Structures are given as C-alpha cells and as structure tokens.
C-alpha cells in the first residue's frame, strides 16, 4: 500500500452482484435463449408484474428453462403464494445442483411461508455454511443458544466521533440521543463556522474544529477521515467509533458489551437498516456499504493517512480493508442495530470516481498507481466498469476475511427477513427485514 503515514495526535484535535447467482460447483452458464428469457422476465418483475412473469416462463419451451430460470420460476410462484409448486421446483433443482446456496435460500423462504420453521432454519443454516455473511440467512436461522449474550463486564470508556451536518438539528439531536443512551461520549468534527452555529444546539457534544476540509463541486464541506482518527487518538478511549450522524442505534442494551469484547484489539463494523419512518415495521439493510466502525488504540496507531472523507464514496471500505490486510481481528456485525430514516440525498459521480481512483492507487498492491493510471486512460464507461469491479471485489474481500457475528438484540424474537422477489432480481439487492411489533427507533423530540 502507498498511503502516507498519518501523524499521531496527543491532544484533541459494485461491479454489481449478478442477479440469480447460482453458487454451486456445477453452476451452469446460460444459453443465449435462456439469457434473453431471463432479461425479459426480470424486466417484468421490476415493473411489479409477477403474473406476467409467470406466464412468460410457462410459455417458454422446456429446453430454455435452465437452472437459473427454474429458480426464478420457483421464486415467482412463492411470491404468488404457490408454495407447493415452488417447493417441487426447488427439489428438482437440488437433484442437479445439490447444496447450492441460492436454492437452499429460496427453499428456506418457502418453508418459512408454509410455517415449517424447523425446515426453514435448517435450510438457512446450510446457506450460512456457504455464505457466512448472508444477513437474511443469519436472521432467519438465528438461535439464541448459538449467539449467547456477552458476559457482564465493567464497560470501558467509549467515544464516538462524527460530523453533525448544519441542518435538521432536531432530527440529529434525536439520533445522537440514541448514542448517548448506550454510554457513548460524542465528539463532532466540523468547520469553525458550523461549530459556532451547532455548539449551542448540542450542549452534550464536544466540538473540534477541522483543519483539513474537502469541498465538493457544490461547495459543501466534508471532514477528512484523518481528522476523525486524530481526534479519537487524542481522546484515548479504549473503544473508539466513527458513525454517520444520521444513523441511530436501536434499543440494543447488549451492544456496548459486544463492542467492548471485540473492538479494543481490532475492528467491529456493520451496515445500517434503511427505514421510511422512525417507528418501523420493516426496512432494508444497506448491503453495499458500511455505516459504523468501532476499534481501539492499536488500530488507530496503525491507520495511515488518506484523502477519504466521511460521507463521500469509498470512505467506508477504507478501515475494514486496511484492518484485514494488516491482520487485525475484524468482526462484521450482521444484526440490525443501526437505523437510517430515509431522506433525499445528493450523490456525486465526480466524488465516486475521484475517491475510487484514490482507493485503486493505494489498495491494489505494488501495481496500484499503474492500475489507477490505466483507469484514467479509459473512456467514461470503461472507467466506471473498472471501479464497479473494484468495489465488488473489495466487498467480497471484506466478507471473505472478516468474522460474521450477531450482536444479541431484544427484538430478535419478532425479527424476520422476508422473501422479496424484486430484491432477488435487482442489480443491487438489499436484505429486507421486518419487525413485529414495530420498532421505535428514535426517542421523542427533545424540548
């Protein structure tokens, strides 16, 4: 890696995953006819017309309905409540693709819909044997006996750093209240002008002025990760964290113990669940990115300097990728503990390309600079595909090397990851979750 050395501070300061992937050793390659049929059926499903998709599949000649199409046909049947035919199709697939994770996962959802809970759990456990980071399988196969509560130990000092935006003050106050409820001290790193306006509104937050600001093409300021790392190093806490300021923690009393037992010597990270309202009966994991990171002083001292900025593309891959490459124990928390109420956002293609090339230059190894130079020489579409592939491979590396665990949460008994036909076929699938009863994520607005 070629990241610069980050000075220490003593004071405060995807290539997209293919739809309908079959993962077995004998996973088939689709014929042209089957591929065209797959694209047509997928387009219909994305329009919300499962009945038309079913008719298109039933009208196809048997030779065109190859394994991925039969899997899709079973999924369409499940979405229409036809669990018997769906299960029969899965059994047929098991004969040609024994143990395939995608078939096992769909069969697990079918058993779940039929109320056959033990068969469903066994199926999802088979998925986890192949894809240990599959959140849907982990949630639906969850057994309290296999995820015991962490032992009660005196909690270390825990500090979470963020950068509070200069807007939606009441909302962010509610979010930070969920952090404080778990025992986190909160530090916000902001430009001087923002601190002047924010400090009176967040009296329990310590503000630190950022000295190195990145400005987007719209002129909005973003705080460098280096500034957050420096502030945490100066705080000297045993457990340090970086969390997006619009991500709330659910009522998870065991989370501090979970972090205290793992973060001081390594890294614990995870993804948020996107929800429409603060009282949520359902949501979806943001599977292509990560939103919270907890670690100790050992990793802080080792982290190099970089140009990444909190809240801009690629920043969330930096810390887990570095920790894994350097051999730090790294845990991927699969439990839904962090929540994000959806709101309008502005995505910057320019920043995605700029920081993607920065990532490529530093993480592809000794040929990294050559690789990023090569990417720069490509036309726009070629460069985009290069970075999509890099993003996909980085996620796969992080999942392959980190340890998947589930922090116990009190709402686990009423938690399920339901089947979603649209999520199965979209290019960037997410993991749906539902809560029964509905989960109250944010406390009442402070007075």
Are 177 and 36 found together in one domain? no
C-alpha torsion sign, points 243, 244, 245, 248: negative
Whole-angstrom distance, CA of residue 140 vs CA of residue 377: 46
Q: Which residue has the higher pLDDT, 287 or 9?
A: 287
**% of the chain residues with pLDDT over 70:** 88
> 0.85 cut: is pTM over it?
yes
Whole-angstrom distance, CA of residue 126 vs CA of residue 176: 39
For residue 111, which of 144, 73, 137 has the smallest C-alpha distance? Answer: 137
Cβ atoms within 10 A of the Cβ of 257, count? 17
Which tokens belong to 110? 């079918």
Which residues are within 8 A (CB) of 146 and not within 5 positions of it... i.e. 6 or more apart?
none
Q: Which residue has the higher pLDDT, 190 or 218?
A: 190
pLDDT at res. 337: 97
Whole-angstrom distance, CA of residue 139 vs CA of residue 137: 6
Cβ atoms within 10 A of the Cβ of 214, count? 18
For residue 431, tell me if it sits in a domain: yes
| Residues making up the chain, counted from first to last | 447
For residue 189, which of 214, 207, 167 has the smallest C-alpha distance? Answer: 207
The answer to whether residue 13 scores a pLDDT higher than 50 is: no
Are 125 and 273 found together in one domain? no
Are 196 and 97 found together in one domain? no
- Quote the domain boundaries for residue 268: 158-440
Which tokens belong to 77? 């049947």
- Using pLDDT thresholds of 50, 70 and 90, give the confidence band for residue 432: very high
C-alpha torsion sign, points 258, 259, 261, 263: positive
- Longest CA–CA span in the chain (Å) reads 71
Pairing of strands 292-295, 338-341: unpaired
For residue 445, tell me if it sits in a domain: no
Most confident of 265-269, 357-361, 381-385: 265-269
Residue 189 is classified by DSSP as E
Are 177 and 321 found together in one domain? yes
For residue 40, tell me if it sits in a domain: yes
Cis peptide before 221 (omega within 30 of 0): no
pLDDT at res. 22: 44
CATH number where 101 lies: 1.25.40.10
Which residues are within 8 A (CB) of 429 and not within 5 positions of it... i.e. 6 or more apart?
17, 19, 287, 423
Interval 167-179 mean pLDDT:
94
Are 217 and 320 found together in one domain? yes
For residue 447, tell me if it sits in a domain: no
Q: Which residue has the higher pLDDT, 57 or 255?
A: 255
**CA 6-384-44 angle, 5° bins:** 130
The counts of H helices and E strands in the chain are: 17, 16
β-sheet with 338-341: strand ranges across: 248-249, 338-341, 273-275, 279-285, 432-440, 415-416
- Using pLDDT thresholds of 50, 70 and 90, give the confidence band for residue 428: confident
The answer to whether residue 64 scores a pLDDT higher than 70 is: no
Q: Which residue has the higher pLDDT, 67 or 75?
A: 75
Residue showing tokens 């405060």: 12
For residue 277, tell me if it sits in a domain: yes
The answer to whether residue 6 scores a pLDDT higher than 70 is: no
Are 182 and 265 found together in one domain? yes
Domain count, the chain: 2
Counting other chains too, the contacts that 192-198 makes at CB distance below 8 Å and 24 or more residues apart are: 194/164, 194/166, 194/221, 197/166, 198/164, 198/166, 198/169
Q: Which residue has the higher pLDDT, 292 or 213?
A: 292
Are 417 and 299 found together in one domain? yes
Mean pLDDT score of the chain: 87
Element (H, E) at 260: helix 255-260
Are 76 and 195 found together in one domain? no
Q: Domain boundary at 115, 130, 145, which?
A: 130
Rg (CA), the chain: 23
* DSSP per position, 79-123: HTT-HHHHHHHHHHHHHHSTT-HHHHHHHHHHHHHTT-HHHHHHH
Cβ atoms within 10 A of the Cβ of 406, count? 21
**CA 190-192-198 angle, 5° bins:** 65
Pairing of strands 292-295, 432-440: unpaired
For residue 147, tell me if it sits in a domain: no
Are 186 and 331 found together in one domain? yes
The per-residue b/e assignment along 86-123, b for 16 or more CB within 10 angstroms, e otherwise, is: bbebbeebeeebeebbbbbbbbbbbbbbeebeebbbeb
For residue 17, tell me if it sits in a domain: no
pLDDT at res. 29: 57
Interval 317-329 mean pLDDT:
96
pLDDT at res. 378: 83
The answer to whether residue 299 scores a pLDDT higher than 60 is: yes
Are 309 and 417 found together in one domain? yes
Q: What are phi and psi of 293, to 5 degrees?
A: -140, 125
Residue 414 is classified by DSSP as G
Do 283 and 339 meet the contact criterion of CB atoms below 8 Å apart? Answer: yes
Whole-angstrom distance, CA of residue 438 vs CA of residue 263: 30
For residue 22, tell me if it sits in a domain: no
* Lowest mean per-residue pLDDT among 285-299, 339-353, 406-420: 339-353
Are 50 and 198 found together in one domain? no
Are 125 and 162 found together in one domain? no
The answer to whether residue 302 scores a pLDDT higher than 90 is: yes
Q: What are phi and psi of 98, to 5 degrees?
A: -60, 130
The answer to whether residue 154 scores a pLDDT higher than 50 is: yes
Whole-angstrom distance, CA of residue 308 vs CA of residue 105: 37
CATH number where 194 lies: 3.90.550.10
pLDDT at res. 275: 95
């Amino acid at each position: 890696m070629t990241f610069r050395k980050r000075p220490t501070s003593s004071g405060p300061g995807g290539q997209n995953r293919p739809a309908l992937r079959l993962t077995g050793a004998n996973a088939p390659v689709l014929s042209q006819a089957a591929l065209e049929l797959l694209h047509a059926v997928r387009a219909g499903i994305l329009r919300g017309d499962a009945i038309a998709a079913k008719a298109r599949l039933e009208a196809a000649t048997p030779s065109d309905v190859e394994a991925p199409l039969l899997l899709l046909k079973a999924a369409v049947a499940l979405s229409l409540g036809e669990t018997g035919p769906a299960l029969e199709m899965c059994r047929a697939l098991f004969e040609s693709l024994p143990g395939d994770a995608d078939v096992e996962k769909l069969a697990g959802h079918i058993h779940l819909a039929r109320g056959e809970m033990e068969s469903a759990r066994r199926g999802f456990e088979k998925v986890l044997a192949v894809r240990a980071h599959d959140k849907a399988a982990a949630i639906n196969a969850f057994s309290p006996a296999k995820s015991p509560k962490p032992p009660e130990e005196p909690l270390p000092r825990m500090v979470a750093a963020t950068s509070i935006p200069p807007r939606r003050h009441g909302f962010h106050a509610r979010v930070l209240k969920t952090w404080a409820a778990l025992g986190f001290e909160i530090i916000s790193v902001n430009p001087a002008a923002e601190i002047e306006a924010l400090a009176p509104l967040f009296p329990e937050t310590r503000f630190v002025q950022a000295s190195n600001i990145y400005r987007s093409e719209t002129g909005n300021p973003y705080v460098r990760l280096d500034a957050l790392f420096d502030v945490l190093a100066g705080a000297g806490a045993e457990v340090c964290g970086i969390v997006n300021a619009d991500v709330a923690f659910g009522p998870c009393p065991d989370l501090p113990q979970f972090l205290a037992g793992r973060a001081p010597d390594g890294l614990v990270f995870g993804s948020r669940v996107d929800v429409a309202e603060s009282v949520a009966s359902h949501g979806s994991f943001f599977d292509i990115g990560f939103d919270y990171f907890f670690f100790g002083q050992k990793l802080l001292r080792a982290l190099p300097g970089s140009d990444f900025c909190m809240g801009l593309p690629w920043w969330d891959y930096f810390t887990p990728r570095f920790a894994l490459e350097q051999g730090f124990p790294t845990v991927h928390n699969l439990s839904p503990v962090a929540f994000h109420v959806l709101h309008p956002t502005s995505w910057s293609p320019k920043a995605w390309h700029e920081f993607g090339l920065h990532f490529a230059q530093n993480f592809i190894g000794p040929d990294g600079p050559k690789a990023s130079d090569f990417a720069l020489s490509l036309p726009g579409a070629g460069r985009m595909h290069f970075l999509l592939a890099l993003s996909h491979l980085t996620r796969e590396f992080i999942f392959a090397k980190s340890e998947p665990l589930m922090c116990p949460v009190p709402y686990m008994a009423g938690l399920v990851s339901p089947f979603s036909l649209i999520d199965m076929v979209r290019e960037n699938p997410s993991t749906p979750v539902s809560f029964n009863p509905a989960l109250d994520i944010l406390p009442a607005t402070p007075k």
